[in-house]
Chains A and B, each alone.
Chain A
Amino acid sequence: AQSVAQPEDQVNVAEGNPLTVKCTYSVSGNPYLFWYVQYPNRGLQFLLKYITGDNLVKGSYGFEAEFNKSQTSFHLKKPSALVSDSALYFCAVRDLGVGQNFVFGPGTRLSVLP
């Protein structure tokens, strides 16, 4: 079965500094990996996904993620954090069994301090 770990419950970063939100995964085949962001009392917004190809994936709002097969990681990054990036971030892997749905990590709360 697929699984996703987000080792940090909380990440704090100063505005203007680079940010990284970590994700590691476990899959039995090729990984299909996604990042979503959730603002308070809102649904999830799609940021980016890795299916195949370049290990560096660029997404919405200046975010990017680096796929590392040997480390089974898919870390989310942004070169310069904004206060408005403060939110809950979820990494997800596509489950190849049950309706090919997402298995989500527990989430990481990002706080960008002014």
Chain B
Amino acid sequence: ETGVTQSPTHLIKTRGQQVTLRCSSQSGHNTVSWYQQALGQGPQFIFQYYREEENGRGNFPPRFSGLQFPNYSSELNVNALELDDSALYLCASSQGRGRIPSTDTQYFGPGTRLTVL
């Protein structure tokens, strides 16, 4: 069992609305990454937080934003939802050690299934 939890499990929104997804990292982990997995595809990296600071971002527009809290849990916020935002959103945590490149394993939560109508 990975220990990473996400809420909610499922969510249905309409176009133009805003959504917040939540993630609790595995105990002892200080790094959280978010991924979007569209149906039939591999996960795509959205961004990563290390010790409450964003330290990497993929090719996603600014309406995708995030936050990491002092307990290392994290939120993903998406504004002005579009139909193409429908996907499984995965959170992964790891024990970052500041080395570059990092060999840390990322452990994934079960995901939040977002449907935009």
Contact = CB atoms under 8 A, between A and B. Distances in A.
Interface of A: 29-30, 32, 34, 36, 41-46, 49, 51, 90, 92, 94-96, 98-107
B45 A102 contact: yes
Contact of A102 (B2, B40, B106): B106
Q: How large is the interface on B (under 10, 10 to 19, 20 to 34, 35 or more residues)?
A: 20 to 34
B106 A98 contact: no
A24 to B, nearest CB: 14
A106 B44 CA distance: 10
Nearest to A101: B45
Nearest to B55: A99
A41 B57 CA distance: 26
A99 B110 contact: no
A100 B56 contact: yes
B25 to A, nearest CB: 13
Given A42-B110, A43-B90, A34 B45 contact: no
> Which 7 pairs across A and B sit closest by C-beta, in order of nearness?
A99-B56, A104-B42, A99-B48, A43-B108, A44-B108, A100-B102, A43-B110
B42 A105 contact: yes
B103 A32 contact: yes
B42 A43 contact: no
A106 B42 contact: yes
A100 B45 contact: no
A104 B103 CA distance: 15
Given A46-B105, A107-B41, A101 B111 contact: no
Interface string B35-51: 00000111111011010
Contacts of B47: 99
Contact of A44 (B6, B55, B90): B90
A105 B48 CA distance: 19
B26 to A, nearest CB: 12
Contacts of A100: 56, 100-102
Contacts of B113: 41
Nearest to A42: B110
Contacts of A107: 40-42
A110 B106 CA distance: 23
